[in-house]
């Protein structure tokens, strides 16, 4: 739907007219027969609703982000406009407001079931002049109207959300809604709509048989909606937003440079699609409060206040600008998932796989030489697993070095240890159970629209997919047809993929934040949230969020300390060392993990980084994902470093390419 025009404002002296307009203009128009189209009760009374201003939205420090203001609005009421009057009335109104007549006609048709719709925001002088000429404009009403004002533009748009007319489902669930009044549709505007919407007022008139007003009986003023306070910090949000834009630009610069490199004989170039999407989230791991959340591409909620242009809406939809990647984007978590496998190994003493070359079971070390050849793993064919650094070598590594340098072969071996020693026993799902216990594979419970559960694959899931495909040829193909002939479609290679966060494992960046939060705080899985409290317009506390533990597992402090120490090794001397080389004096107090998620043949890898700080007393987890961004160490880690420098009070260095690591 097209949005109303805004007629240029004039000098502030006319602002004093607003209070007069709200009552007088309606009275004049209705006095000429407007009430004839309204519902009149047995006593000859008619009620006209007065829209309520929506409540404010503020950040955790009280900074105003969204508010409502009263503006003079030209409203067109289709009930009051006879079909024979329409063409002339539209032409006359267009000339008076200096807006295209075809634009008004399109707005009229697009209104659908809405009988009354705002047409143009005007200045006080224009509103005053129109009230003298209303007899010349049938169907037109000038009202004081609450206008939503978004002070941050596209920043925080996926948290704040936008407005829109209620759908049929909305009206069914909340019958009291006025179909002509916009409600919250996404984000906090949608999730907390019933707090923000306020209570409409009304004006009651007595009318005669001709529908003309004879008396104004009463007026009940509207009550503004409540003020919602976010857990987000506006300044931190600005830093995160800047990191996303600079990181996307960095990824595209790297791809441009790679396109110029000559190919060797027999070499092929990976897909180098433009990088267009990224997200980042910062969460307080002591209570689940989200301190910053950004997703790109974003949108400007102001476009929706009076109805967004259909072509602009289509463009934003094509770009998936309304998808909150942090909450609703599902990706293989890649090597960031190794923290789960690492913890599962420590807690369950996972045995090493035997009879594999390059395994030192006594010292629990593996030769990370870049390649693992398995001639017999299960019912499947022989397989070759190559690491990200192939044909290079990392040497003999224990679990600490393997985490620091992201050696896939080490974590493959842990999965093989589970497969060969615990297959078809109650311990076969030890990796999956650890993942689920820290938040993967279920809804996070965040107070935003679009929450996704993700997937933690296991034997039961694969066998259910097999049954579905065999029973329903039209069902989505989740398994390769060759698997359907196996006794069980779940094979050892699937568990190996899971151990490094690949295969059919899917999670949102918020899942990763919640899981790392639990691994770093000793096992408390917090339900993330973006709203801390709700207050009345007068400041009275109406509701306050209470930190909610979704689950709690027992992770010994020794395991927590071990993981955090190895995360510090990642940024000091591991896969994120170049990205963090100029971090500052607090480098020894931060930790991280890089990840590079494999995608389909026609898509680039997804770049991941997770940071925790300070590691001696964990407070924050930072998660960065760049969709088709390339290497986690090269692109996502510098973005995460930038955000963590702000958190730790360090000087912010430019976001420049790190090392092309996993």
Q: What is the pLDDT of residues 606-634, one digit of tens each?
A: 999 999 999 999 999 999 999 999 999 99
In a domain, 654, yes or no: no
- Distance (Å, whole) CA 557 – CA 571: 22
- Distance (Å, whole) CA 598 – CA 594: 13
In a domain, 346, yes or no: yes
**Residue 495 is part of which domain span?**
337-439+457-499
- 561 with 616, same domain: the answer is yes
Q: Give this prediction's pTM.
A: 0.89
Number of structural domains found in the chain:
3
In a domain, 536, yes or no: no
For residue 229, the tally of other CB atoms under 10 A from its CB is: 22
Task: Convert the pLDDT of each residue in 157-174 to its tens digit.
Answer: 999 999 998 988 999 999
- Tell me which residue of 350, 371, 356 sits closest to 415, measured CA to CA: 350
Helix (H, G, I), strand (E, B) or coil at 299: coil
- 416 with 322, same domain: the answer is no
In a domain, 430, yes or no: yes
| Sequence-ordered list of residues with C-beta below 8 angstroms from that of 205, at least 6 positions apart, any chain | 30, 35, 45, 46, 48, 213, 215, 216, 217
- Tell me which residue of 136, 168, 162, 134 sits closest to 148, measured CA to CA: 162
- 187 with 211, same domain: the answer is yes
- 144 with 85, same domain: the answer is yes
- 153 with 19, same domain: the answer is yes
For residue 352, the tally of other CB atoms under 10 A from its CB is: 20
- 124 with 162, same domain: the answer is yes
Report the CATH number at residue 103: 3.90.1310.10
Q: Are strands 277-284 and 620-627 parallel, antiparallel or unpaired?
A: antiparallel
The first and second tokens of residue 618, run together, are 């964990």
In 487-625, which ranges are continuous DSSP H helix?
A: 492-499, 509-521, 557-573
Half-sphere exposure of 66 (CA within 13 A, CB side): 34
- Distance (Å, whole) CA 392 – CA 395: 9
- 154 with 172, same domain: the answer is yes
> Would you call 660 exposed, middle or buried from its count of C-beta atoms within 10 A (0-12, 13-18, 19+)?
middle
List, in sequence order, every residue forming a beta bridge with 595; answer none if it has no partner.
608
Measured in whole angstroms, the distance separating CA 189 from the mean position of its chain's CA atoms is 13
- Distance (Å, whole) CA 77 – CA 100: 18
Tell me which residues of the chain have a pLDDT lower than 50. 1-2, 8-37
For 541-570, letters b (16+ CB in 10 Å) and e give eeeebeeeebbebebeeebbebbbebbbbb
- Tell me which residue of 432, 393, 428 sits closest to 410, measured CA to CA: 393
Q: Are strands 201-207 and 620-627 parallel, antiparallel or unpaired?
A: unpaired
- 165 with 64, same domain: the answer is yes
- Distance (Å, whole) CA 50 – CA 203: 7
Question: Would you state the pLDDT for residue 8?
Answer: 47
Residue with tokens 């076969």: 428
- 494 with 519, same domain: the answer is no
For residue 395, the tally of other CB atoms under 10 A from its CB is: 12
What is the helix, strand, coil percentage profile of the chain, to 5? 35, 20, 40
For residue 379, the tally of other CB atoms under 10 A from its CB is: 13
- 377 with 291, same domain: the answer is no
- 117 with 29, same domain: the answer is yes
Q: Are strands 227-230 and 57-58 parallel, antiparallel or unpaired?
A: parallel
Helix (H, G, I), strand (E, B) or coil at 377: coil
- Tell me which residue of 78, 77, 75 sits closest to 146, measured CA to CA: 75
In a domain, 462, yes or no: yes
In a domain, 638, yes or no: yes
The first and second tokens of residue 57, run together, are 């939205």
Report the CATH number at residue 307: 3.40.710.10
Contact 441, 435 (CB under 8 A): yes
The first and second tokens of residue 361, run together, are 């079971």
- Distance (Å, whole) CA 628 – CA 598: 9
In a domain, 125, yes or no: yes
- Tell me which residue of 493, 265, 236, 548 sits closest to 380, measured CA to CA: 493
The first and second tokens of residue 70, run together, are 């009263």
In 58-136, which ranges are continuous DSSP H helix?
A: 83-97, 101-110, 124-131
- 563 with 549, same domain: the answer is yes
In 120-220, which ranges are continuous DSSP H helix?
A: 124-131, 157-160, 168-173, 187-191, 193-196
List, in sequence order, every residue forming a beta bridge with 282; answer none if it has no partner.
292, 622
In a domain, 279, yes or no: yes
């Amino acid at each position: 739907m097209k949005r109303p025009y805004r007629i240029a404002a004039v000098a502030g002296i006319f602002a004093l007219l607003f209070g007069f307009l709200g009552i007088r203009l309606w009275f004049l128009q209705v006095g000429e027969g407007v009430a004839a189209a309204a519902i009149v009760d047995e006593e000859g009374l008619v009620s006209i609703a007065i829209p309520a201003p929506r409540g404010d939205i503020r950040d955790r420090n009280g900074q105003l982000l969204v508010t409502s203001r009263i503006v003079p609005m030209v409203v067109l009421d289709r009930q009051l406009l006879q079909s024979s009057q329409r063409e002339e009335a539209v032409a006359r109104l267009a000339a008076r407001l200096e807006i295209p007549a075809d634009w008004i006609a399109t707005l009229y048709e697009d209104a659908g079931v809405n009988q009354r719709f705002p047409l143009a925001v005007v200045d006080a002088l224009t509103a005053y002049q129109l009230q003298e000429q209303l007899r010349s404009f049938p169907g037109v009403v000038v009202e004081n109207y609450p206008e939503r004002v978004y002070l941050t533009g596209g920043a925080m748009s996926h948290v704040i959300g936008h407005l829109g007319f209620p759908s049929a489902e909305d009206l069914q669930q909340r019958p009291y809604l006025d179909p002509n009044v916009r409600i919250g549709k996404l984000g906090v505007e949608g999730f907390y709509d019933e707090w923000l919407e306020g209570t409409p007022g009304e004006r009651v008139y007595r009318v005669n048989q001709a529908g003309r007003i004879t008396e104004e009986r009463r007026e009940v003023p509207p009550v503004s909606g409540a003020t919602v306070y976010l857990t987000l910090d506006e300044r931190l949000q600005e830093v995160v937003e800047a990191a996303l834009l600079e990181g996307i630009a960095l990824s595209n610069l790297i791809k441009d440079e790679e396109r110029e490199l000559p190919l060797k004989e027999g070499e092929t170039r990976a897909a180098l699609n433009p990088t267009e999407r990224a997200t980042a989230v910062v969460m307080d791991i002591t209570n689940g409060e989200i301190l910053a959340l950004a997703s790109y591409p974003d949108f400007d909620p102001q476009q929706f206040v009076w109805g967004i242009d259909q072509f602009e809406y289509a463009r934003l939809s094509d770009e998936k600008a309304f998808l909150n990647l942090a909450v609703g984007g599902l990706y293989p978590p890649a090597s960031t998932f190794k923290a789960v496998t690492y913890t599962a190994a420590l807690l369950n003493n996972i045995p090493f796989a035997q009879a594999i070359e390059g395994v030192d079971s006594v010292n629990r070390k593996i030769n990370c030489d870049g390649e693992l050849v398995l001639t017999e793993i299960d019912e499947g064919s022989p397989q070759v697993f190559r690491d990200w650094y192939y044909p290079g070598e990392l040497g003999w590594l224990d679990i600490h070095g393997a985490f620091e340098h992201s050696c896939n072969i080490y974590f493959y071996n842990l999965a093989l240890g589970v497969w060969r020693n615990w297959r078809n026993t109650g311990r076969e799902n030890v990796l999956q159970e650890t993942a689920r216990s820290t938040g993967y594979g279920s809804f996070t419970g965040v107070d935003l629209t679009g929450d996704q559960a993700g997937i933690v694959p296991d034997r039961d899931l694969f066998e259910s997919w097999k049954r579905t495909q065999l029973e329903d040829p039209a069902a989505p193909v989740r398994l390769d047809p060759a698997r359907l002939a196996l006794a069980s479609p779940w094979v050892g290679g699937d568990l190996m993929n899971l151990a490094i966060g690949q295969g059919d494992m899917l999670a949102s960046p918020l899942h990763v934040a919640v899981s790392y939060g639990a691994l770093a705080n000793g096992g408390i899985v917090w339900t993330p949230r973006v709203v801390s409290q709700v207050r009345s317009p007068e400041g009275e506390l109406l509701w306050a969020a209470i930190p909610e533990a979704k689950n709690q597992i027992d992770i010994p402090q020794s395991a927590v300390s071990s993981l955090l120490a190895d995360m510090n090794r990642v940024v000091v001397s591991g896969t994120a060392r170049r990205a963090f080389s100029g971090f500052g004096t607090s480098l020894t107090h931060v930790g991280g993990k890089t990840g590079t998620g494999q995608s389909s043949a026609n898509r680039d890898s997804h770049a991941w980084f997770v940071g925790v700080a300070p590691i001696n007393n964990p407070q924050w987890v930072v998660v960065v994902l760049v969709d088709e961004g390339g290497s986690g160490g090269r692109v996502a880690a510098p973005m995460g470093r930038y955000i963590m420098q702000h958190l730790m009070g360090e000087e912010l260095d430019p976001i420049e390419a790190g090392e092309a690591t996993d």
